[in-house]
Chain A
Amino acid sequence: MLYFSRWKVIAILLSVLAGILFALPNVLPKDIQETLRAHTILRPVTLGLDLQGGSNVLMEVDRKELVNTLIVQQMGDVRAALRTARIAYKLNRTPSGVTVQITEAADADKANDVLKGLTQPIDTGLFGTGVANHIFTLDRSGQQFTFTFSDAGLEARVSRAVEQSLRIIENRVNGSGISEVSIQRQGKDRIVIQLPGVGDPDQVVKMIGQTAKLTFQLVCESQPVAATDNPPPECAAFPMKEDAKRMMWVQTSSAATVDGADLNDAQSGFDSRTNEPIVNFRFNQKGALRFGKLTADNVGKPFAIVLDQQVISAPRINDAILGGSGQISGNFTVEEANALAVVLRSGALPARLIPVEQRTVGPSLGSDSIHAGAVSAVIALIAVMIFMLIAYGLFGIFANVALVVNLILLIGIMSVFGFTLTLPGIAGIVLTMGIAVDSNVLVYERIREEWRHGRTALNAIETGFRAALATVLDSNFTALIAAVVLFGVGSGPVRGFAIAHAIGILTTLFTAFTFTRLIVSWWVRTAKPKEVPL
């Protein structure tokens, strides 16, 4: 138990050296840290948002709204399709879809063909499994047709919405110049956004969460007299930007709409005549074609520029706009125009995102926490070391050296693997100090027992290590189970605790089985003890 082959000694010492090397960047000055980070894998430990200050925002795809949008769209498409086919119908919305009642029995078969065309499958992406997910399924019973929402279709749609949103949010964040933002998917319908150093995330959250759905829609022929008037079936009432109490009725069918998703570019600028801030946009080919056709067919009529269900402005179409570019004006401030350009460039979010959890730590609390954590860690270390010294003398010194090595390894591993250190993580490290020496206590108590029961010093030490290390393994392994479970379910700071605690258990096992034994074996060989000083 006390014999180490040469290569084992080398391996142990190398591991300890590597630990020291990995932990080293934490105590180096900032500029050296940066150089090391650029050229090597050496880096200081990553601080969690609760230590460096910043915001953690959890956003969720608004399913309700997504369903609503899809149903409204479907209703518009049904109306347009049936009208083109000259079929009389009655349309009803149900909680789970749309029902269509065909007036004349003779039209029913024709309507069947028309409506079948409206259950397009959702493309499941590049790696589609070949299973088409329809958003709606169509059922017919006589003259009655029912479009029902399919759950699988919705799930696929939500999942795609999250994927698209990730990319779009990334673009928006990059466009706005905030640095080191992490954007990750969480679960089926959520996105976590971490904004280090951002103490007031409101602006960012608003920008990220803005759907930025831009559409150009023809204005209905009749317009409301009072804001509470109900719009005719093919129209929707949207508030005006300049006066939210005034409503405008705009056409909803897809034939009367050009989607801003087909924008190629958007830049803020100034109107050459009025010097008012505006946003210039350019369509891609598909968009330009549709936009050209819509404007050509409707010269002289007004069309509404709608952003997130709000009419920004409703200019009259003077000429067909065939070049695919245009401008949006709407009493913007310069900042508004800039922000609008950024969100238009990055594209519309496929669905609304709602912040469901938002945690912000200001920079001063963060640095207070670092300070408090460091002070308590040092004091805990000193207290434990003094106690071990009193209780075990020389062996206490061995334990203390092992404890320091243990902590260096812990910090080194966290640094080099990029684990995040949170405030509860610091608590985990401090706790490790208290628990790490347990392995020494176990071994020492056992050695003492064996010695008192009549063994020679060497024999007692040998047996003590062997008997106690089995227990050390058992007891630490069970503690590890709890830490791993915590890591699995925890989030943010708590997960930081689980990481620090779990790594602490592993480094404790390492030092107990190798380093402490190595020191003791050196001592045994040089001092050739006749007694156990315990």
Chain B
Amino acid sequence: MYKPIRFIKDDTKVKFMLLSRYGYFASGLACLAAVLLFVFVGLNYGVDFKGGTVFVIRTEQAANLDELRSKINGLGFGDAELQEFGTGGREVLIRLPTVEGGEDVQRVVQDKVKQVLGTGVEYLSIDVVGPKVSGELAQQSILAVLIAIIGILIYIWFRFEWQFAIATVMSLLHDVLLTIGFFCLIGIDFNLQIIAAILTIVGYSLNDTVVVFDRIREYLRKYKQMPLADLIDFSINSVLPRTLLTAVTTLLALIALYIFGGEVLKGFTLAMIWGVLIATYSSIFSAASLLALLGVNRDAIQTSPAKPAKTAAAARP
């Protein structure tokens, strides 16, 4: 019979609580860097949040970006940003800022650009977002991320103890912060898709954290005398194979999506890949060890009803 390959050794005994000291240092430094990046570099807000017009065009021959740029800048709607879209060399993304003069004027941009580019250009997509809508979308998105985090805080608080909830939310914020820092660094087009990615990362990161916390809670009931730090180490090591394997399957799917999923999804997928890496890191190195800092009310957990698996008789080699 086929013997499955073990990617992670059994009974790893990594001292995560010791490592987490470096983890805090690294995370703290990274968060600081993320904040600095956000303040001094900033996000590259896309049309969803900034308003304006975005064209994706396909030209008949290889596109000449300089020529296109000078044509469009000649219209006087402000500086056009042009970049290649995909790898074919014929597809170009053109971004124009919001034009002064209210909602109505934005449509004029479209007509004028179409005129100046003439025939022989296929319009793959055109997005026009007025100043009012873009402002609302930005507000809604911030609200969404906050609501999600608060909802999760409440859920974890009910299911576990408040210390778990605080630790979870701290590590969620850590993940979101680092993700935003990453976006500032690579200058990704920050749009609604990226908000979707952030919320999904929040969900994923949580998933990871909950699995570790579930195990900690179980061991708290089972090993009443074990010091908290050792118990947390033990828990993380126990679920380590799962944490890493799930990260791998998720990354496999995401990488397939990144390579083959087309240009439109690139930003989303890149954000997700980064998010999964960060979430995996934080669920191992920061979430649980934060719990050790906060302390846990062991009496409350040990007296709460639970159905722990009966202790096994003898260990199998």
Contact = CB atoms under 8 A, between A and B. Distances in A.
A and B held together in a complex = yes
Interface of A: 50, 58, 60, 199-200, 202, 205, 354-362, 364-365, 368-369, 371-373, 375-377, 379-380, 383-384, 387-388, 390-396, 423-424, 426-427, 430-431, 433-435, 437-438, 441-442, 445, 449-455, 463, 466-467, 470-471, 474-483, 485-486, 488-491, 493-494, 497-498, 501, 533-534
A498 B203 CA distance: 12
B155 A477 contact: yes
B284 to A, nearest CB: 15
- Which applies to chain A's interface (DSSP): helix, strand, loop or mixed? helix
A376 B111 CA distance: 36
A95 B199 CA distance: 44
Given A357-B130, A392-B4, A393-B3, A485 B144 contact: yes
B272 interface: yes
Contact of A471 (B147, B200, B210): B210
B248 to A, nearest CB: 7
Nearest to A391: B4
A125 B282 CA distance: 57
A476 to B, nearest CB: 7
Contacts of B203: 478-483
A475 B260 CA distance: 29
Q: Which interface residue of B257, B260, B272 has the most chain A CB atoms within 10 A?
A: B257
A242 B310 CA distance: 91
B200 A365 contact: no
A281 B70 CA distance: 50
B196 interface: yes
A467 B128 CA distance: 51
A438 B207 CA distance: 10
B116 interface: no
Given A364-B122, A372-B260, A442-B211, A481 B155 contact: yes
Contact of A387 (B111, B159, B204, B252): B252
B260 A441 contact: no
A494 B192 contact: yes
A401 to B, nearest CB: 16
B5 interface: yes
B316 A453 contact: yes
Given A391-B5, A427-B268, A490-B192, 12 more contacts: A365-B125, A368-B262, A369-B264, A375-B260, A383-B255, A393-B4, A441-B246, A442-B246, A452-B10, A477-B155, A478-B156, A479-B206
Nearest to B58: A364
A480 B315 CA distance: 37
Nearest to B245: A441
Nearest to A187: B136
Contacts of B272: 431
Nearest to B56: A365
B193 interface: yes
Contact of A358 (B3, B107, B261, B312): B107
A454 B314 contact: yes
B211 A359 contact: no
A434 B193 contact: no
Interface residues of B, number: 87
A376 B10 contact: no
A45 B23 CA distance: 46
A481 B151 contact: yes
A482 B200 contact: yes
Contacts of B264: 50, 365, 369, 423
A445 B241 contact: yes
A379 B256 contact: yes
A438 to B, nearest CB: 4
B202 A441 contact: no
B293 interface: no
B312 A534 contact: no
A127 B147 CA distance: 35
Interface of B: 1-5, 7, 10, 56, 58, 103-104, 106-107, 110-111, 122-130, 132-133, 140-141, 143-144, 147-148, 151-152, 155-156, 159, 192-193, 195-196, 199-200, 202-204, 206-208, 210-211, 214-215, 218, 238-239, 241-242, 245-246, 248-257, 259-262, 264-265, 268-269, 272, 307, 309-310, 312-316
Given A361-B124, A478-B156, A394 B144 contact: no
11 contacts: A354-B103, A361-B125, A373-B262, A376-B259, A383-B253, A391-B4, A393-B1, A427-B269, A454-B315, A494-B192, A494-B193
Nearest to A427: B265
A471 B5 CA distance: 24
A485 B151 contact: yes
Given A357-B130, A452-B315, A199 B123 contact: yes
Contacts of B104: 354
A435 B214 contact: no
B124 A482 contact: no
B4 A362 contact: no
Contacts of A362: 122-125
Contacts of B124: 361-362, 364-365
A471 B262 CA distance: 35
Given A364-B122, A452-B10, A482-B206, A357 B129 contact: yes
Contacts of A355: 103, 106-107, 128, 130
Contacts of A368: 262
B141 to A, nearest CB: 7
Contact of B316 (A50, A445, A451, A466): A451
Contacts of B249: 384, 387-388, 433-435, 437-438, 441
Contact of A470 (B2, B214, B268): B214
A358 B127 CA distance: 6
A356 B103 contact: yes
A454 B123 contact: no
B260 A490 contact: no
7 shortest interchain CB distances as A-B pairs: A372-B262, A434-B253, A482-B203, A434-B250, A380-B256, A479-B203, A376-B260
A360 B127 contact: yes
Contacts of B5: 390-391
Contact of A445 (B3, B106, B144, B239): B239
B262 A394 contact: no
